[in-house]
Structure 1
Amino acid sequence: MKRAQAKPILLSLERASATGLVEQIVAGLAHLIAQGTLRSGEQLPSVRRFGTDQGVGTSTVVEAYERLVARGLVAARRGAGFFIAYQSPQSPPTPVFNPPAPVIDSAWLLSEMFADERVPIKAGCGWLPGKWLDDDGLHQAERRIIRAPGAQQVGYGHPYGYAPLRLTISQFLAQWSLEVPIDQILTTHGATQALDLIIRTMVKRGDTVLIDDPSYCNLIAMLRLADVNVIGIPRTPTGIDTNALENLARLHKPVLYFTTSVLHNPTGTSYTPACAMRVLQAAERHGFWVVEDDIFRELGQPNDPMLAALDGLQRVIYVGSFSKTVAPSLRLGFIACQRELARQLVHTKMVLTLTNSEITERLVHSALTEGHHRRHVENLAAALLHAQARVNARLLEAGLTPFATPRGGMFSWAKFDRTELSARDIADLARRDGIWLAPGDFFHLTPPDQPWFRFNVAYSDVPELVAFFRGL
């Protein structure tokens, strides 16, 4: 029995339109399906016939049909052609999602803040505005990756990471007198995954771990998930309280100490050389590892000490990242450590996530080596230092007390002691005025007595912030 032929379809295509022919065909057929002219189960004309009727090439028709298949409007049947997919006779209206007002708590800071665009002044966020990043350098790197052979873009990467990138990281670390071969370097999906791999590999339930207090809020959350005993070492304007470190290490016998030597999040402070030496001496005396979370190294001062370089990776595990200076969306971090420990960390990484995206690693490598990155970082560091000085002046004007004098980096840490309100209460009031604040509670193991806040200096140099705090 001869199969009935599909009825011809004629669309009005405008070749001079800014809208391409493929998009016009897709829109035209989708409209006919929506109004019921083309019904469920009805066969579309063959690719060749539709192309002849419309005066377009078969490749144009194929692409249009495949887009309709991808949208669920058309079904492809092998050997038979393309058919209108089943359409519900009365599709319910698409529900409109109206998100509730955000609750300013640690869960919001860890997750929802990244997607919530309703509050315009992001004074408490943890990333830089797009205009502060090197768009031109990144676009050049993207174009270079696109021109690479396809075989370099489709396979799994190396378990340790893309070798030319690890060589670039090795050269980067050598600028601070840390000589490390590439088999002691592994790449990670951002510095946060690097910290997670270290926790999973080196810590067991019930162990004691030391952290800076205040500290990176994601690290606090990860350690709590690991069910370990977490003890805070107070931060000071010159690093940490080394006497507290000595006493607590002697008493609790920690396995690890997570600390930030340069431009600490959230306080913005850096170690002095004397502080760095005392930390390494305590680690040697009491037998704990130091995890140096050093993602802001490029934005710091040239003479800021690097624990890993002073120690030679004997007791220090070094964590770095380029997400802050290249682009947060690339999520590229790395670990430098002893060779055997690197092998163990790679095993953990492969168990959890397999390899990193080599396309991302090639893109970062290209961005770091194409010639723009060094000047971009110099300009960014200078801009942040100036912004921090301006923001600290605004905070003083508004009645807040900055924790330390500006040293650069993204953050200022300040307390507001002219109120009986808690930091979270103040943050909730600020949200209603269109300002996001990051209360100090999120960064401490236990809430502080006074309301502290972390300010991102790239977003906080605005008069609305001063007006808000003056109005409390």
Structure 2
Amino acid sequence: MGGLSRGGGSTLTEQLAEHYAQRIRQRLLAPGTRLPSVRDAARRHGVSPHTVVAAYDQLLAQGLVEARRQRGFFVRDRRTPELRPAMPRAAPAGPPLPPVDATALIRGMFHSGTDQPAPGLGTLPLEWLDPALMSTALRRVLGQTEGALALQYGQPAGDLRLRQALALRLGGLGLQASADQIVTATGATHALDIVSRALLAPGDAVLVDEPGWAVEFARLTQLGMRLLPVPRGADGPDLAVLETLAREHRPRLYVTISVLHNPTGNSLTPAGAYQLLRLAEQHDFRVVEDDTYGELAPAHLPRLAALDGLQRTLYVSGFSKILTPGWRVGFVAAPPSLIERLIDVKLLSTLTTPAILEQALAYCLEQGSLRRHVERVHARLDAARQRSVQLALAHGCRFVTPPQGLFGWVDTGVDTEALAQRLHDQGWLLAPGHLFHASRRPSTLMRINFATSQDARFWRAFDRACGR
């Protein structure tokens, strides 16, 4: 945010109130977020405490915030009861539905108002991508089909040429799946949604990693599921906790990331993967393996679906992270008995997926151009990770898990929700730790993207925002 104007047509109080009102309406400040204290806001914006109090009073009058005695001002949840997920049957006793609002981070990606690198972003920098690779593939496919693919619906399960190419690619990971066991989707998130809608009913219990991806928490919650968080550390999921939760709540699914976990960056060991699959069999739940960032991982790391042979597992991945966020092609590989059910859900949600993009991706896989692009990204990411780690350590951060892959999970020593607010005013997008927990809680942790955290300007701004 630029400085408040003392010569404008509105008062400082009105400008300050409008600043926070805009952020609340854009969902950049999620329901339940605590506004800066009066003293902190006065210091940050260069105004008197009286001006801040008056601005907060205006937000109260507009119904945007609520005052909690001796705690401060908090963003109100203005959703009406009619918009909440329906619960057609009583859920067994267990953890309550969490107040998740993942859209704050997502919206922040589109409302940054700056071209500065975004340390909290979940994607590669634009300059790392290869638009020529995609345009060449699209031209080739359009030339081969004379544009016919754009004039008709795609195949229900997805383009056969792509599914065959994916089957070969999965074979390189040790995962044997035929093209008939693959259903394409509009990105990995859509594939996860297809699986959830096909296999779950409102009130079902679902195991999830914690910390984990906020979008998955919010999506499952919106579908009416009960989340059972499994603590995730440097050695992977806490299998003792998982076993207790499975025994007490009889979950239907465990949605997890086995390789380059988001946000911790760790990967399962073969022994841990084997024990996890034994627990799934013992307690009769399926495992949904989200391998969204698998293109950034070494191929030799064990995938649960490869060890299990797609018996009790479903494997989900996509190419938006490595190609471009706008080219949304994902897929799920599943046991044969589930394929028709998955296709039915896909047809009801999107009819079909775009055959042009799917055949263009198949071309990239067949010609090896995607493989070469991935190799270049790996080299750049290794160098970026080394520099970002050095900067983070030099500025007082501690890595909770060993730095690997695209993300670092760091302890800053300060409340990262408040830190994210302060840095957002300066154009820096952070991913504070509370977004990665199934229920809202204060956190000193944050996720950094190694590819976008190399800018020394960010770390200087970080120090100032921390009061160092």
Structure 1 residue aligned with 2:369: 372
2:402 is the counterpart of 1:412: no
Q: Is 1:428 the equivalent of 2:435?
A: no
Alignment of 1:17-416 (within 5 A): 100-101=22-23, 103-105=28-30, 106-114=102-110, 116-118=112-114, 120-148=116-144, 149-408=146-405, 410-416=406-412
The one-letter amino acid paired with 1:397 is A
Q: Structure 2 counterpart of 1:424, which letter? A: E
CA shift for structure 1 position 374: 1.1
Instruction: Tell me the TM-score normalized by structure 1.
Output: 0.75
User: Which whole-Å CA distance do the structure 1 matches of 2:115 and 2:371 have between them?
Assistant: 33
In 1, Cα distance between equivalents of 2:234 and 2:110: 29
Matched, 1:463 2:460: no
Post-superposition Cα deviations, 1:213-271, rounded to whole Å, max 9, x if no partner, equal 01111111111111111011111112211111112111111100000011111111111
Assess if the C-alpha contact under 8 Å between 1:119 and 1:435 holds in 2. no
Aligned in 2, Cα 1:425/1:112: closer, same or farther, shift over 3 Å? closer
Provide closer, same or farther for how the CA distance between residues 128 and 117 of structure 1 changes in structure 2, counting only shifts above 3 A. Answer: farther
Deviation at 1:292, TM superposition (A): 0.1
Question: Which protein shows a greater Rg?
Answer: 1
What is the deviation of 1:454?
Answer: 1.1
**Which amino acid in the other structure matches residue 422 of structure 2?**
L
User: Contact 1:397 / 1:466 at 8 angstroms: preserved in 2?
Assistant: no
Relative to the length of structure 2, the TM-score reads: 0.76
Structure 1: 5+ residue stretches without partners: 1-97
1:180 deviates by: 0.8
CA pair 239-144 structure 1, distance change in 2 beyond 3 A: same
Provide the rounded CA distance (Å) in 1 between the counterparts of 2:283 and 2:386: 39
Question: Is the 1:165–1:362 Cα contact (8 Å) retained in structure 2?
Answer: yes
Q: Structure 1 residues 368, 117: closer, same or farther in 2, change over 3 A?
A: farther
CA contact (8 A) 1:104 1:427 kept: no
Secondary structure at the aligned position of 2:263 is classed as coil
Aligned-pair RMSD on alpha carbons?
1.8
Query: Could you tell me whether the CA contact under 8 Å between 1:257 and 1:290 is conserved in 2?
Result: yes
1:88 alignment partner in structure 2: none
Q: Helix, strand or coil: the match of 1:187?
A: strand
Mapped partners of 1:230, 1:159: distance in 2: 31
Counterpart residue number, 1:63: none
Structure 1 distance, partners of 2:352, 2:317, is 18
User: Could you tell me which amino acid in structure 2 is paired with residue 240 of structure 1?
Assistant: P
Aligned AA (2:435): F
Q: Unpaired runs of 5+ in structure 2?
A: 1-18, 31-101
Q: 1:318 & 1:283 partners in 2: Cα distance? A: 15
**What is the CA-CA distance between 1:176 and the residue it aligns to?**
1.6
Distance 1:152 1:333 in 2: 19
